[in-house]
Amino acid sequence: MMGAVPAAAVAFTWTQEEAVQAAAGARQAASQAAAAGRAYTPRFFSPREYATVVLLSDLIIPRDARSASSSEAGAPEFVDYIVAEQPARQVAMRGGLMWLDAECQRRFERTFADATDPQRRQVLDDIAWPSRARPEFSHGVSFFTTMRDLVAAGFWSSRIGVADLGYQGNRPVEWTGAPPAVLQKLGVSYD
């Protein structure tokens, strides 16, 4: 399964339209769950895997003084929606989560979710910078790069992420025409 991670990583691209649709689908699923008074039910990930996705997303984009965390923005729902909708991602994502658990088991005799925060960060530090990662971490690097991209896409396409950017959308600007010097040079006027 882990051997498929690098090959499948090539399939981890999506169009802007797909990302917008996924964000809308994830928001709708999360809204429906909230309206029904229940937690989001993952479409692809098992409950244990999804808990790791939530944990990872908040390590990638944590809450800070300016903004909420990626899980509060719905990024884990976005990741689950994308992976559920795009089967080419599924083996690599599940394999990446297995890689994280296996690496933590090897180092600390516990899963990623059960590891301490410093232990988790130690593993992530080894895979977060592809150019600095050791060759034996190539599977983890491929997985983490994809996960970081998906979490960022989910966060920045959410209301919380857009507010964090301070994006106000296209705003009309009053245009008073060409400057008088240009009109004079061209020998024209607005009269």
Tell me what pLDDT residue 58 has.
97
In the structure encoding, which two tokens stand for residue 8, read together?
């499948």
Each residue's pLDDT expressed in tens, for the chain with a length of 191 residues: 333 333 333 344 556 676 666 666 666 666 665 666 678 899 999 999 999 999 999 999 999 998 999 999 999 999 999 999 999 989 999 999 999 999 999 999 999 999 999 999 999 999 999 999 999 999 999 999 999 999 999 999 899 988 888 887 788 788 888 899 999 999 998 88
The answer to whether 95 touches 113, Cβ cutoff 8 Å, is no
DSSP state of 187: T
Residue with tokens 């080419």: 88
The answer to whether 99 touches 5, Cβ cutoff 8 Å, is yes
Q: Which residues lie below 8 Å from residue 26, measured CB to CB, with a gap of 6+?
A: 74, 77, 78, 80, 81, 154
pTM over 0.85: no
Distance CA 53, CA 103 (A): 16
CA angle 81, 122, 98 (to 5 degrees): 40
Domain ranges of the chain: 4-186
What three-state secondary structure class fits 30?
helix
